[in-house]
Amino acid sequence: MAEILQYVHKDGFFHRINPFTKIAFILVISLMCIISTSIPFLAVLVVALLVIAYASNLYKEVIQQLKLVIMMSVVFIVITIITMPNGAIIGHVIPAAVPFVGGFIPITQGAIEIGLILTLRFMVLIFAFQLFLISTQPRDLVHTLEKCRMPIDYILMFIIALRFIPTLQIEGKRIHEAQLARGYNPGTGFLGKIRSVAPIVIPLVSNALLRSNVLGLTIDMRGYRTGKRTHVRERRFLRSDYLVLTVLVFVCAGFIFLTLEQIL
């Protein structure tokens, strides 16, 4: 089963660069996509991330998130159409030709634009974080964040949150199968999901709580919280790291210049 947001052992460009460089990359990309409201610029960021994923031999893993992104974009656009009508009307959800209720809920250009901006922002964030997490071993991440003076307990919390994703994913599948074998047929779609909450979520949460207790004890008994670490297989800064950081500086400078020009 493909694991969500888990390290994938491969050898590619993004795997080779230093986790510190990757964190800088993520920060710059995230800030730019949050500040920018330009659809073409956000689209360029999405394409750039996909190109990087392709060049790093991680395209297949990144594109796995496409289904989620499409679902989210539909939700965003529907919500913005309903809640944020703005600008020229280009149609109605219920066509004007329908008697009595026709012409209800206008579809406006502004609402679609906002929906698209939100969608592209989430695409950038999801692809960027996916790229980062699948190419960085948690051990390297711990070391880099430790160097950034982040307290070890917070780092471990972050690592554990990530680590629980596949556990819940695999466990959820097993529980689902066990209940199906008991003749359970919650049905598909939204109602099916609601009906399956108790028989699946209750065992899932109960088992996860038990597991988190053992996991916490394992962390203590393996001494991860002592903080006295021997540096082994340290990741050095390579030429590609300097190259990426230089590109980031230029992109950042260009972005700040263009944004300020727009504001002033």
Partner 1 sequence: MIKLVNVSYTYPHTIQAALNHLSLSLPKGQCIMVTGPSGAGKTTLCLAACGILHHEYGGKKEGQVTLDGRDVTGYRSLSEIAQNIGIVFDDPEAQMIFTTVEEEILSALEYRGLSASEIEARLASIMETCYLVELRNRSPHNLSGGQKQRVALAATLALGNDVLILDEPTSELDEHATHRIVEILKNLKEQGKTILLVEHKYIHFRDIIDTLVVMENGAIRAIGAPREILTDERLRRIVIPDFSKIKEGAGDRAAPAGNATAPVISVQHLSYSYDDVPALKDVNLDIHAGEFVAIVGENGSGKTTLVKHFNGLLSPTRGDVFIQGKNTRTCSIAELARDVGLVFQNPDHMFFADTVKEEVEFGLTNLGIKDGAGIIDAALGEVRLLHTKDLYPRWLSRGERQRLAIACVFAMQPSIIVLDEPTTGLDGDEACLVMEILQELQRKGHTIIVITHNREIATNCADRLITMEQGLIVSDSPVR
Minimum CB separation of residue 30 from partner 1 in Å reads 23
Nearer to partner 1, 117 or 142 (CB): 142
Nearer to partner 1, 9 or 149 (CB): 9
Nearer to partner 1, 221 or 260 (CB): 221
Largest CA distance in the chain: 76
Minimum CB separation of residue 14 from partner 1 in Å reads 15
Closest by CA to 48, choosing from 29, 65, 61, is 29
Minimum CB separation of residue 263 from partner 1 in Å reads 43
Q: Following CA atoms 126, 130, 131, 134 in sequence, which dihedral angle do they give, to the nearest 10 degrees?
A: 180
Minimum CB separation of residue 157 from partner 1 in Å reads 12
Query: What's the per-residue H, E or C state across 17-67?
Result: CCHHHHHHHHHHHHHHHHHCCCHHHHHHHHHHHHHHHHHCCCHHHHHCCHH
Nearer to partner 1, 9 or 239 (CB): 9
Minimum CB separation of residue 123 from partner 1 in Å reads 25
Nearer to partner 1, 6 or 73 (CB): 6
Q: Which residues here bind partner 1, judged by CB under 8 A?
A: 1, 3, 6-7, 9, 137-139, 142, 159-160, 163, 166-167, 170-171, 174-175, 177-185, 198-200, 202-203, 206-207, 210-215, 217-226, 228-233
Nearer to partner 1, 106 or 166 (CB): 166
Q: Helices in 148-201 by DSSP H: which ranges?
A: 152-180, 189-195
Q: Residue 231, SS3?
A: coil
Closest by CA to 43, choosing from 113, 134, 109, is 113
Minimum CB separation of residue 62 from partner 1 in Å reads 17
Q: Residue 175 in contact with residue 200, Cβ under 8 Å?
A: yes
Helix (H) or strand (E) holding 224: none
